Structure 1
Amino acid sequence: MNYSFQKGEVIGILEIPKLQAELPIVEGTSEYELQKGVGHYSSTALPGQPDQILLSGHRETVFRRMGELKNGDIFQVIMPYGSFSYEITGSQIVEANDPTVIKSTAPNETLTVSTCYPFTYIGDAPYRYVLTAHRTEIQ
């Protein structure tokens, strides 16, 4: 698999069945890109690769109901080259500038999804809410 995407390009769809959500995944995480959908950190893997995939989105738009998700819930990622399921296995709250959220998980394929926290905070939130999910064959 050798896909490369341009910044700002819609590269896939993030489905969250529990929330009945279908969200566009956009390459990049600038403010412009995050206005268009869920941003993919370009320095991280893509679905189907054995490493960390990091997606981020705004809490007041695409991830408004993220706090309702629990361990065992599923993220479905639909890419031009296939569909991938990930089961949520954990959550954490970290400082907004915590660099440990971005890390290699090789050889394991791990989906990390983050948004600002607290969910109801006005302005630049001081924390990030981070969900970790592992590849599963559940459909």
Structure 2
Amino acid sequence: MKNKALILCILGAGIMLYAGFQMLSTRYHERVTLNHIQSSLTQSKTKNVTLGSYAPKKGDGFAMLTIPKLKKVLPIVEGANPDDLAKGVGHVAGTSFPAMHDQIVLSGHRDTVFRHVGELKKGDSLIVKLDYGEFKYIIQRMKIVSSEDTSIIHSTKPHEELVLTTCYPFSYIGNAPKRYIIYAIPDQE
């Protein structure tokens, strides 16, 4: 009986150490990516970026997402596979970019970059900054869908829409069965 308890304690400690390492590793990669993006945006003021040809390379950090209510500045990386999401918020390939008048979809892990997005409310702002400008969006609504529901990703042309997606429930352990979706539109100020 004592051996079983000891094994369970060691196993539990090992799982906690692994989870801690994963979290620290993700934060490190987020910081490195964010520093690279900030440096690139500072240098890009002299670049001539055209919307029609804008196409960041897969896996590259290219923008920043600021969530003022949460006091967060997060790197945005092209792509949404596990390697991309380890660096920050992932831009879902095939969706649009700011000022292109279509749907922009950003995805992130609920336990890292989007840890507190459940605290956001209608009317809160989101800011995307990239080479060709800074764009402010106002949250309009939230919704919870099944993890298999891909209908949230679609063209909204000519209306621009920023969509944030993360797993739900927020405190779920393992692969969550649902997705939490936040919809925002450009600020008209």
Work out whether the TM-score is over 0.5: yes
- Displacement of 1:4 in angstroms is 1.0
Q: Please tell me the residue identity of whatever aligns with 1:65.
A: H
Counterpart of 1:50 (choices 85, 90, 101) is 101
1:26 matched residue in structure 2: 77
Aligned pairs for 1:63-74 (under 5 A) are 63-74=114-125
Q: Please tell me the residue identity of whatever aligns with 1:24.
A: P
The size of the alignment, in residue pairs, is: 138
1:133 matched residue in structure 2: 184
Pick the structure with more strand per residue.
Answer: 1
CA distance in 1, matches of 2:110, 2:80: 14
CA distance in 1, matches of 2:67, 2:146: 25
Deviation per residue, 1:7-65 (Å, 9 max, x gap) = 11001000000000000000000100000000001110001111000000000000000
Residue segments in structure 1 that go unaligned for 5+ positions in a row: none
- Displacement of 1:137 in angstroms is 3.6
Q: Does 1:14 align with 2:65?
A: yes
2:20 matched residue in structure 1: none
- The structure 1 segments of at least 4 consecutive aligned residues displaced by more than 2 Å after TM superposition are none
SS, match of residue 86 in structure 2 = helix
SS, match of residue 165 in structure 2 = strand
CA distance in 2, matches of 1:136, 1:49: 15
CA distance in 1, matches of 2:70, 2:172: 21
Higher relative contact order (CA 8 A, sep 6+): 1
Identity of aligned residues (%): 49
2:132 matched residue in structure 1: 81
CA distance in 1, matches of 2:89, 2:188: 23
2:39 matched residue in structure 1: none
Q: Please tell me the residue identity of whatever aligns with 2:56.
A: F
2:36 matched residue in structure 1: none
CA distance in 1, matches of 2:90, 2:150: 17
Counterpart of 1:115 (choices 166, 169, 178) is 166
CA distance in 2, matches of 1:31, 1:58: 9
Pick the structure with more helix per residue.
Answer: 2
- Displacement of 1:76 in angstroms is 0.3
CA distance in 2, matches of 1:53, 1:4: 13
CA distance in 1, matches of 2:185, 2:112: 24
